């Protein structure tokens, strides 16, 4: 009777506590899949960030170009004004 009880307890313990041991193949497969995902997603993320920063730089250069164009117009106007004044002063004397 006592022996049957222990046998029954051992069988129940074996059924309840069945653990699947993780072997090296499962570990290597998991690492391989993670590396594959990383290698496929990394270039996309890198290229997206590079495109973003390049477009910001281009936008900055465009703003500077527009500012320089406006400054060029102002300088040309000043030069024309100075030329006109010099021309007037030359004709007076």
Identify the residue with better confidence: 2 or 36. Answer: 36
Q: Is the pLDDT of residue 33 over 70?
A: yes
CA distance 40 to 49: 15
CA distance 28 to 18: 23
Distances (CA, A) of 51 to 55, 56, 62, 63: 6, 9, 16, 18
pLDDT digits (tens, 9 = 90+) for 69-88: 999 999 999 999 999 988 88
pTM over the 0.75 mark: no
Identify the residue with better confidence: 23 or 35. Answer: 35
The three-state secondary structure class of 22 is coil
pLDDT digits (tens, 9 = 90+) for 50-71: 999 999 999 999 999 999 999 9
| pLDDT the model gives residue 93 | 65
């Amino acid at each position: 009777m006592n022996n049957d009880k222990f046998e029954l307890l051992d069988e129940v313990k074996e059924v309840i506590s069945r653990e699947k041991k993780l072997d090296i193949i499962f570990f290597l497969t998991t690492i391989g899949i993670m590396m594959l995902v990383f290698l496929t997603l990394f270039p996309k993320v890198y290229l997206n960030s590079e495109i973003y920063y390049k477009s910001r730089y281009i936008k900055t250069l465009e703003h500077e170009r527009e500012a320089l164009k406006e400054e060029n117009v102002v300088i040309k106007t000043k030069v024309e004004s100075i030329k006109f004044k010099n021309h007037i002063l030359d004709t007076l004397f």
